[in-house]
Amino acid sequence: MFIIVEGCGRVGAELAFRLYQRGHQVAVIDQVGSSFANLDPEYRGRTIEGEVLSNDVLTRAGIAEADGLTAVTNSDSVNAVVGHMAREVYKVSNVVVRNYDPRWLPMHEAFGLQVVSSTAWGAQRIEELLYQPPGRTVFSAGNGEVEIYEMVVPEAWRGRLVGELLASTEALAVAFTRAGRSLLPAPDVVLAPGDILLVSATLAGIEALRERAAPAGGPR
């Protein structure tokens, strides 16, 4: 695919490089030339310096051939206008914009744009990790007979093996995350407090895991 990234701050630079690594054609636009220093040295896609709302700049970037465009500047108004132009004027089929200030989120919604509110999502995610109950539901299949639960590994599970922990329960490990990096969990993975384990389980399975997560002598 050919993707245009509007804005080369930290988010735009990281996104552009990730897309480039996956083999996509990428063009990054920023009105400040020095912003391209945020890009990874191995990035070999295009960079275009100029006003992000300029028709001439968008044309030079190749918007007529773009399969997708994302506007990730620090200006919510710019992101909304660029996203609207890309979709309505240039007929780009896949447009995603960044919401920087949650107070401006209704503006993006009014344009009907696909939007990622990194600030709001980040705050919500941190809140969940700080005090979520063991086994928060993140996906429900069928009529809820099987669900996927997110469990933050408690102190009681320190040193336990994934396979040992799930033995004799109606639960299967789906993903394992440590320090922000996820992988498919092997049965011999040793758990540490603060790890995040996604498990697919029945109600009986998650209740068994919640009981095992309770501290000795505490409520079950």
User: pLDDT tens across 160-169, in order?
Assistant: 999 999 999 9
CA distance 151 to 149: 6
Task: Say if domain 132-213 classifies as CATH 3.30.70.1450.
Answer: yes
How is the chain split into domains, by residue range?
Answer: 2-123, 132-213
CA distance 107 to 109: 5
Q: Return the pLDDT at 111.
A: 86
The dotted CATH code for 2-123 is: 3.40.50.720
For 38-86, the pLDDT digits (tens) are 999 999 999 999 999 999 999 999 999 999 999 999 999 999 999 999 9
pTM of the predicted protein model: 0.67
Percentage with pLDDT > 70 across the chain:
92
The two structure tokens encoding residue 205 = 């399975």
Question: How many residues are there in the chain?
Answer: 220
Contact 97, 73 (CB under 8 A): no
- Alpha-carbon distance values, 91 to 26, 51, 140 (Å): 18, 20, 35
Does residue 171 contact residue 147 with C-beta atoms inside 8 Å? no
Tokens 């086994």 map to which residue? Answer: 135
- Is 132-213 in the same CATH topology as 2-123? no
Structure token pair of residue 85 = 């132009």
